[in-house]
Amino acid sequence: MSHLMNTYARQNVTFTHGEGVWLWDINGKRYLDALSGIAVNTLGHAHPRFTAALTKQIGKLIHTSNLYQVQEQELIADKLCQLSGMQEVFLCNSGCEANEAAIKLARLYGHNKGVADPSIIVMEKAFHGRTLATLSATGNRKVQAGFEPLVKGFVRVPYDDLEAIRQVARHTPNVVAVLVEPIQGEGGIRTPDISYLHGLRNICDEQEWLLMLDEVQCGLGRTGKWFAFQHTDIMPDVMTLAKGLGSGVPVGACLAAGKATGTFKPGNHGSTFGGNPLASTAALTTLNIMEQDKLLDHAAKLGAWLKQQFLARLGGTKGVVTVRGQGLMLGIELDKPCGDLVGKAREQGLLINVTADNVVRLLPSLVFSESDALQLLDILCPLITEFLAQE
Ligand SMILES: *Cc1c(COP(=O)(O)O)cnc(C)c1O
pLDDT tens by residue, 97-129 = 999 999 999 999 999 999 999 999 999 999 999
| pLDDT of amino acid 214 | 99
Residue 217 Cβ contacting ligand 1 at under 6 Å = yes
Ligand 1 pocket test, candidate residues 216, 238, 251, most atoms within 8 A of CB: 216
The answer on pLDDT for 391 being more than 90 is: no
User: Omega before 250 cis (within 30°)?
Assistant: no
Question: pLDDT tens digits for 344-381?
Answer: 999 999 999 999 999 999 999 999 999 999 999 999 99
For residue 386, the one-letter residue type is E
Mean pLDDT across 78-106: 98
**Would you list which residues are annotated within the binding site?**
127, 130, 214-217, 271-272
**Domain range summary for the chain, segments of one domain joined by +:** 15-46+294-389, 51-292
Pairing of strands 329-334, 320-326: antiparallel
Q: How far apart, in whole angstroms, are the C-alpha atoms of residue 175 and residue 119?
A: 5
Question: Catalytic residue among 127, 154, 227, 264, which?
Answer: 127
Residue 185 Cβ contacting ligand 1 at under 6 Å = yes
Would you call 154 a catalytic residue per the annotation? no
- Considering the chain, what is the average pLDDT of its residues? 98
End-to-end CA distance of the chain: 37
The answer on pLDDT for 275 being more than 90 is: yes
The answer on pLDDT for 1 being more than 90 is: no
Closest CA to 182 of 203, 160, 204: 160
Residue 360 Cβ contacting ligand 1 at under 6 Å = no
Pick the CATH number of 15-46+294-389 from 3.30.70.1230, 3.90.1150.10, 3.40.50.300, 3.30.420.40: 3.90.1150.10
* Domain 51-292 belongs in CATH node 3.40.640.10: yes
CA of 23 to the centre of ligand 1 (A): 23
The answer on pLDDT for 256 being more than 80 is: yes
Mean pLDDT across 63-74: 98
Residue 216 Cβ contacting ligand 1 at under 6 Å = yes
Using a pLDDT cut of 70, give the percent of the chain over it: 100
Residue 94 Cβ contacting ligand 1 at under 6 Å = yes
Mean pLDDT across 136-162: 98
**Are the C-beta atoms of residues 259 and 253 closer than 8 Å to each other?**
no
CA of 129, closest atom in ligand 1: 4
Would you call 127 a catalytic residue per the annotation? yes
Closest CA to 198 of 230, 245, 246: 230
Would you call 243 a catalytic residue per the annotation? yes
Domains 15-46+294-389 and 51-292 share a fold: no
